[in-house]
Amino acid sequence: MKSVYKIIFIQLGEIYEVFAKQIYQSDMYGFIEVEEYIFNKDKQLVVDPSSEKLKNEFSKVERSYIPMNAILRIDEVRETGEAKIKENKDRVSPFPLNIQPVNK
């Protein structure tokens, strides 16, 4: 069985929850690379507007580079769910992270 990953991250003050087949640490320092986004097509009769927005936003994206400090959680899951955007009601913010190597 191929792995599927659920990635939850902060983007422009909103919480994005997306599913992808590939995720790994980027050669670009401080970023995670996400490839092969998965969007459930025609599985639900009721269309979630945030899911449609994500599908349109990532439809032509081959690879995303997400800053590590924007990522809230990454889960390896057995099944995909519906990608969605949540309002950031609790005002979760990215953890301030200085990932610069120390020059001595």
CB 17 within 8 A of CB 84: yes
**Domain regions of the chain by residue span:** 4-86
The CATH fold assigned to 4-86 is SH3 type barrels. (2.30.30)
- CA distance to 4, 6, 8, 103, per residue, from 79 (Å): 7, 9, 16, 44
pLDDT at site 82: 82
pLDDT at site 31: 93
pLDDT at site 71: 92
| 66: number of Cβ within 10 Å | 21
pLDDT at site 88: 76
Residue pLDDT tens, the chain, 104 long: 678 999 999 988 888 899 999 999 999 988 999 999 888 765 555 567 777 788 878 888 889 999 998 999 999 998 888 888 887 776 655 555 555 666 66
| CA distance linking residue 73 with residue 57, whole number of Å | 21
pLDDT at site 12: 82
Residue showing tokens 């913010």: 93
In DSSP terms, which residues pair with 35 in a beta bridge?
22, 63
pTM: 0.75
| CA distance linking residue 25 with residue 68, whole number of Å | 9
